Amino acid sequence: MADVRVSKLHTVNGEISLPGDKSVSHRAAMLASIAHGTSIIKNFSTAIDCQSTLDCMRQLGVAIHRDINNIHVRGKGLRALSKPGDVLNCGNSGTTMRLLCGLLAGQDFSAKLTGDASLSRRPMDRIIKPLVNNGADITGEKDNRFAPLTINGKALNNIHYELPVASSQVKSAVLLAGLYAGGAVSVVEPVKTRDHTERMLDYCGVDISRDGNVITLGENRQPGAREFVVPGDISSAAFLIALGLLIPGGALCIKDVGINPTRTGLLTVLEKMGADIRIDNERLVSNEPVGNLIVRNAKLRAVDIGGALIPKLIDELPLLAVIATQAQGRTVVHDALELRVKESDRIAAIVAELKKMGASIEETGDGFIVDGPTPLKGAECSSYNDHRIAMALSVAGWTADGETVIKDADCVGISCPEFFDLVGSVT
Catalytic residues: 315
Residue number with CB closer to ligand S3P (9 or 200): 200
Distance CA 375, CA 200 (A): 44
Q: Minimum Å distance from CB 401 to ligand S3P?
A: 32
The H or E element spanning position 178 is helix 168-178
Count CB-CB contacts under 10 A for residue 65.
10
Rounded to 5 degrees, φ, ψ at 299 are -85, 130
Q: Is 86 exposed, middle or buried (0-12, 13-18, 19+ CB in 10 A)?
A: exposed
Closest by CA position to 33, among listed 224, 233, 229, 208? 224
Q: Minimum Å distance from CB 347 to ligand S3P?
A: 14
Q: Helical H runs in 3-124?
A: 22-33, 48-59, 94-105, 117-120
> Cis peptide leading into 148, omega within 30 of 0?
yes
Distance CA 120, CA 122 (A): 6
Distance CA 104, CA 87 (A): 13
Residue number with CB closer to ligand S3P (173 or 295): 173
Beta strands 360-364 and 367-372, pairing class: antiparallel
Q: How far is CA 131 from the centre of its chain?
A: 22
Pair 326, 298: CB distance under 8 Å? no
Our CA dihedral for 65, 81, 144, 312, rounded to 10 degrees, sits at 50
Q: Minimum Å distance from CB 99 to ligand S3P?
A: 7
DSSP state of 126: H
Q: Minimum Å distance from CB 385 to ligand S3P?
A: 15
Q: How far is CA 288 from the centre of its chain?
A: 15
Which residues would be at the binding site for ligand S3P (CB under 6 A)? 23, 95, 167-169, 172, 194, 314-315, 338
Q: Minimum Å distance from CB 1 to ligand S3P?
A: 21
Q: Minimum Å distance from CB 248 to ligand S3P?
A: 31
Q: Minimum Å distance from CB 351 to ligand S3P?
A: 19
Rounded to 5 degrees, φ, ψ at 41 are -115, 110
- For 341-384, the DSSP string reads GSSS-HHHHHHHHHHHTT-EEEEETTEEEEEE----B--EE--T
Residue number with CB closer to ligand S3P (166 or 327): 166
Q: Minimum Å distance from CB 249 to ligand S3P?
A: 29
Closest by CA position to 59, among listed 33, 22, 27? 33
Collapsing DSSP to helix, strand or coil, 198 comes out as helix
Residue number with CB closer to ligand S3P (124 or 225): 124
Residue number with CB closer to ligand S3P (95 or 394): 95
CA dist 148 → 68, 98, 124 (Å): 32, 12, 9
